[in-house]
Amino acid sequence: MLKELVIRHFAIIEEVHIAFDHGFHVLTGETGAGKSILIDALGLVAGGRASADFVRHGEGKAEIEAVFELDPEHAARAPLVEWGFDEEELDQIIIRREITAQGKSTCRINGRVVTLSLLKQVGPRLIDISGQHEHQSLLKTEEHLEWLDHFGGEEILSLRRQYEEIYVSYDKVKRQLEQLRKNQRDLDRRLDLLRFQADEIEAAQLTPGEEEALESEHKRLASAEKLMVHSAKAYEYLNGEQGGISLVQEAISHLSQIAEVDESLENVAELARSACYQLEEAAHEIARYQDNFEFDPKRLYEVEERIHLIHQLKRKYGDSIEEILAYKEQVDQELHELENHEEIEAELSAKCRQYTEQLKELAQKLTSKRKKAASALETRVEQELKDLNMGSTVFHVAFFPEPYRHDVFYAHGQDQIEFQIAPNPGEPLKPLAKIASGGELSRLMLALKCIFTEVNRNDTLVFDEIDTGVSGRAAQAIAEKIAFLSNRHQVLCVTHLPQVACMADCHMYIAKEVLQSKTRTKVKKLDMEGRTIELARMLGGVEVTSTTRNHAREMIRLAEEQKKQYVR
């Protein structure tokens, strides 16, 4: 359950600190005051995508911090324990998101930096957010199968995972088979090209690291004259008649004469002797270098030709010898496949048939279980819609065996489904997109949420203007349904409807004010008098009259009577 929410420098919010409790929390206020910004902040806590646009103008970063209490069996514990958190520290968790003005995002749980991937696992288990955009997901038929499978629970989901695992192998083999058959159409031309490439690389007899060694050798051979001149000069300066060794030997002789009289310079004489030995060794090494040095124009030509060949191959096959050799392995593999395409095709075809049989068996089981789940979902949705003043609505999960054939498989089975409704008696079933109004979509979404909260067991449910397009008795039905949900879950609801707001256990008013030319959002928890005034405003607009106040008080009184039916 969400206990606290602290937001700093987020959009037009400078800083707000909100405490939550059990039950039904309503957030109301004028359009643009920042109600949906609070929902956006909760979305980031649940692992939503961050953006620099969220940072309040002129600030360096935005911060969102949420405190949750978890019961011992809470679903959010599992990924956290797997990550390395101790069970003892998970009775309460603090999620913190920071977003810099440069768009960089940091996630922390109980002070530890975690990945966004982990937060995306944990967040949806803590908060279930339903916004206006979710209505549109109901119109996407590709989403309907996801709804159905999750309603079916682990029985369907485990079977689906088995199917998907085999489907990945099936799809890979199928693609290989299709590519092989495609290759056969220009087999000869492709074989000639691959053989030429393989022969060209093979003939070069490349070895890793060879290019660097050749470049080093080329540098030495190309600088032969320079090397000989400098080595001769170095030898002359060391071991010539006036070279360094002769001069050091003279110095040693004089130092030795002094040391016979004054022993304090014996160490200096010894240092000079040591230096002389080292200079003599250096001179010997230079002499050996000169004796062994041989300028070989033929070898220089060979090295240059070899480097040129390697550069030509790099232009064709890769940026390095390692990449060229890796390309050669790919060529050899494709050559093997093309030269042995009949055997490989037979092997792939056998695998494809094997996977097809496995997929067919699993797909049939999936279809059977999905149809059973669909029947149960239809009954549940119609029950929920009856509570939402849509008692005559027929809800149907349609399966389409056509136009696909029984040997065609999709990533999640062989089923294509679509949610259909007939809102009024005597009307045929039609797809949601062709028949559902905004108010009908709102109530259908709420009906599904009521069902799926039992499946997903989320503690905190957030509704962002889910009542859009609804009024009158339908609005009252939505209000009662959300209030009933709050008997089992913590509910946060952004609304413009007084019928919904009057059912709240906690009413928060969102307002914005301008101070020193800066806009700020404020959140105020309303007392009974504040609730009355806000409901009166929602009922009557800008002007609050005694009539609208009395009406608001009556709505609150009736709502309290209604809520007594829901035993908490």
Mean pLDDT of the chain: 84
Predicted confidence (pLDDT) at residue 326 exceeds the cutoff of 60: yes
Amino acid at 273: R
pTM value surpassing 0.85: no
Residue 439 CA from chain centroid, whole number: 34
Predicted confidence (pLDDT) at residue 297 exceeds the cutoff of 90: no
Amino acid at 195: R
Q: Are 495 and 475 in contact (CB under 8 A)?
A: no
Residues 6 or more apart whose Cβ sits within 8 Å of residue 350: none
Cα–Cα distance for residue pair 101/80, rounded to 1 Å = 29
The pLDDT of 202-215, averaged and rounded, is: 88
Amino acid at 189: R
Other residues' Cβ atoms within 10 Å of the Cβ of residue 306: 17
The pLDDT of 356-361, averaged and rounded, is: 92
Amino acid at 558: L
CA dist list (Å): 419 to 145, 374, 433, 496:
9, 10, 10, 29
Cα–Cα distance for residue pair 180/192, rounded to 1 Å = 16
The pair of three-digit structure tokens given for residue 1, joined into one six-digit string:
């359950």
Ranges assigned E (strand) in 58-91:
61-69
| Crossing angle for the helix pair 210-222 and 224-239, to the nearest 10 degrees | 60
Residue 241: DSSP 8-state: T
The pLDDT of 17-28, averaged and rounded, is: 91
ω into 403 cis (within 30 of 0): yes
The pair of three-digit structure tokens given for residue 300, joined into one six-digit string:
């220089």
Cα–Cα distance for residue pair 19/5, rounded to 1 Å = 7
Cα–Cα distance for residue pair 109/94, rounded to 1 Å = 6
Residue 495: DSSP 8-state: -
The pLDDT of 384-390, averaged and rounded, is: 86
In angstroms, the first-to-last Cα distance of the chain is 15
Can you give the pLDDT at residue 406? 61
What confidence tier does 379 reach under pLDDT thresholds 50, 70, 90? very high
Predicted confidence (pLDDT) at residue 134 exceeds the cutoff of 70: no
* H/E run at residue 359: helix 341-387
| 3-state secondary structure at position 146 | helix
Cα–Cα distance for residue pair 511/493, rounded to 1 Å = 16
Please, which residues bridge with residue 64 across strands?
A: 7, 97
Spatial CA neighbour of 502 closest among 418, 560, 567, 431: 560
Q: What pLDDT, in 10s, does the model give residues 144-171?
A: 898 899 889 889 999 999 999 999 999 9
Cα–Cα distance for residue pair 232/221, rounded to 1 Å = 17
The pair of three-digit structure tokens given for residue 278, joined into one six-digit string:
């080292």
Q: Length of the chain, please?
A: 568
Q: Are 440 and 108 in contact (CB under 8 A)?
A: no
Q: What pLDDT, in 10s, does the model give residues 525-563?
A: 999 999 999 998 888 776 788 888 899 899 889 888 887
Other residues' Cβ atoms within 10 Å of the Cβ of residue 46: 22
Q: What pLDDT, in 10s, does the model give residues 299-319?
A: 778 888 888 888 999 889 988
Can you give the pLDDT at residue 367? 92
CA dist list (Å): 182 to 179, 186, 338, 345, 398:
5, 8, 11, 12, 38
User: Which pairs from 282-288 meet CB under 8 Å and 24+ separation?
Assistant: 282/238, 283/235, 283/238, 283/239, 283/243, 283/245, 286/231, 286/234, 286/235, 286/238, 287/235, 287/239
Look at 308 and 265; give whichever has higher pLDDT: 308
Q: List the strands of the sheet with 13-19, edge to edge.
A: 13-19, 2-10, 61-69, 92-100, 105-109, 112-114
Can you give the pLDDT at residue 26? 92
Cα–Cα distance for residue pair 364/356, rounded to 1 Å = 12
What confidence tier does 378 reach under pLDDT thresholds 50, 70, 90? very high
Block residue for tokens 């890769």: 318
Predicted confidence (pLDDT) at residue 137 exceeds the cutoff of 70: no
Share of the chain above pLDDT 70, in %: 92
Task: State the alpha helices, DSSP H only, in 388-514.
Answer: 432-435, 438-456, 472-485, 498-501
Q: List the strands of the sheet with 394-399, edge to edge.
A: 394-399, 417-422, 430-431
Q: What pLDDT, in 10s, does the model give residues 499-533?
A: 889 989 999 998 888 777 777 888 889 999 999 99
Can you give the pLDDT at residue 136? 60
Q: Are 470 and 478 in contact (CB under 8 A)?
A: yes
Cα–Cα distance for residue pair 544/548, rounded to 1 Å = 6
φ and ψ of 366, to 5 deg: -60, -45
Cα–Cα distance for residue pair 408/301, rounded to 1 Å = 63
Q: What pLDDT, in 10s, does the model give residues 444-471?
A: 888 888 887 766 666 788 888 777 767 7
Q: What pLDDT, in 10s, does the model give residues 468-482?
A: 767 778 788 888 888
Predicted confidence (pLDDT) at residue 68 exceeds the cutoff of 80: yes
Other residues' Cβ atoms within 10 Å of the Cβ of residue 496: 16
Cα–Cα distance for residue pair 32/510, rounded to 1 Å = 10
What confidence tier does 374 reach under pLDDT thresholds 50, 70, 90? very high
